[in-house]
Structure 1
Amino acid sequence: MGMGVDIRNRIAKRAAQEVKDGMIVNLGIGIPTLVANHLSDDLHVMFHAENGILGTGPSPEKGEEDPALCNAGGFPVTIIPGASYFDSALAFGMIRRGYLDITILGALEVSEKGDLANWIVPGKRVPGMGGAMELAQKAKKVIVLMNHVNKQGESKILRECALPLTAKACVDLIITEMAVIEVTEEGLLLKEVMAPFTVEEVVAHTEAPLRIPSVVGRIE
């Protein structure tokens, strides 16, 4: 199943509901970058980029890009009033001290214990771990946005990750095009199902066992 823009935006829109006023948030590459587009204007949120910006704004209009201003993925950004610049050592200092309220990451695999594998794809050259390891370990809340299944149609939510781990037991919430799943001490809890999918379909596409509460929310 390919990911249409609308599906990516549905996932990002649901993730945006987790962001509250006054938070410091780091957005990973991929679907997470879309989250900023779905926050209401009255929310005051500071976006943190590992390359040394606190207070990144929306993507610039074409032709308005500043060549010296980009996010950790190298994409052009704008800044909001009150933004600040610093070197990447300080950017990582903020991460390591636990100042980030939420980090929203993409993932290749997540385990039932909340282990995260998101940096290495076998047979592909990758730019490196980046900040993912520390973001995943240190942020107060870690949210993963991803396809529910991979290109082969296999579940990305597993009993055990097969790929090298980015960090262990770090994920708090998983949001896919099919469901919202919380990682708890007792395992994975199915919180919400996205239309048009059913609880049965989510269970069928999830390799890890899911706990089904008496009431499962539905996202239309």
Structure 2
Amino acid sequence: MSERLTRDEMAALVAADIPAGAYVNLGIGQPTLVADHLRPEQDVTLHTENGMLGMGRAAHPDEVDPDLINAGKVPVVETPGCSYFHHADSFGMMRGGHLDVCVLGAFQVAANGDLANWHTGAPDAIPAVGGAMDLATGAKSVFVMMSLFAKDGSPKLVPQCTYPLTGLGCVSRAYTDHGVFEIADGVVRVRDLRGITRDELAARLDVPLTD
């Protein structure tokens, strides 16, 4: 059986699935790794909510400019033609349907595509919605990168989200350490599995799965 995917392997799968010429936003956490796996021939333009269009990969030590950072505050490089603009203009791009894809992390994804990624509801948890609601609503396609199971073993792919929602029916694809899942019309299709058998998966998820 293949070992479960590392974060970089997940990011490489996401990068390979982004259409050529797309405008894309990468959320905080695991999604920022996608920038390091995009191929030049894809001609993908990365957008950041802090006002940058044309973000590149993570910066090497000798390339670091403290004013150039991604959503996770990791230093990045520019790409040719990179531009900068006001924070409000950046949100206008997000809300106006100008992004082809956004890649977000998640606490939970429901079988109908609902997304919960900003708050667990725990009394001591710090809410961190940022621009996630704008991205989940405004982007044409929403991809999620997450571990399939939480630290306590509970599944993150669920029949219905129990955490506060970020967006309704917005997620079309979930990239996890145990494989890739396509979500459409309330149906979850298994595209690939890693480090777990189909029977083991069925025993741990309450979500009906199809091939």
Q: TM-score, normalised by structure 1?
A: 0.88
Counterpart residue type for residue 101 of structure 2: I
The answer as to 2:85 corresponding to 1:86 is yes
Residue in 2 aligned with 1:144? 144
Q: Identity of paired residues, percent?
A: 42
Residue in 2 aligned with 1:205? 204
Higher relative contact order (CA 8 A, sep 6+): 2
Secondary structure of residue in 1 paired with 2:6? helix
Residue in 1 aligned with 2:40? 41
- How far residue 124 of structure 1 moved from its aligned partner, in angstroms, is 4.1
Structure-to-structure mapping, 1:76-115, within 5 angstroms: 76-115=75-114
Residue in 2 aligned with 1:170? 170
- How far residue 123 of structure 1 moved from its aligned partner, in angstroms, is 3.7
C-alpha RMSD over aligned residues? 1.7
Secondary structure of residue in 1 paired with 2:109? strand
The answer as to 2:71 corresponding to 1:72 is yes
Deviations 1:20-56 (A, max 9, x none): 2111011111111111222223221110000000000
Aligned residues of 2:173 and 2:180 also touching (Cα < 8 A) = yes
Name the count of aligned residue pairs.
207
Q: TM-score, normalised by structure 2?
A: 0.92
Residue in 2 aligned with 1:157? 157
- How far residue 168 of structure 1 moved from its aligned partner, in angstroms, is 1.1
Secondary structure of residue in 1 paired with 2:63? coil
Aligned residues of 1:149 and 1:205 also touching (Cα < 8 A) = no
Supply the distance in 2 between the matched residues of 1:186 and 1:153 (Cα, whole angstroms): 24
Aligned residues of 1:148 and 1:205 also touching (Cα < 8 A) = no
For structure 1, list consecutive stretches of 5 or more residues without a partner in the other structure.
214-220
For structure 2, list consecutive stretches of 5 or more residues without a partner in the other structure.
none
Supply the distance in 2 between the matched residues of 1:202 and 1:41 (Cα, whole angstroms): 36
The answer as to 2:56 corresponding to 1:57 is yes
Aligned residues of 2:36 and 2:58 also touching (Cα < 8 A) = no
Deviates more, 1:158-167 or 1:61-70: 61-70
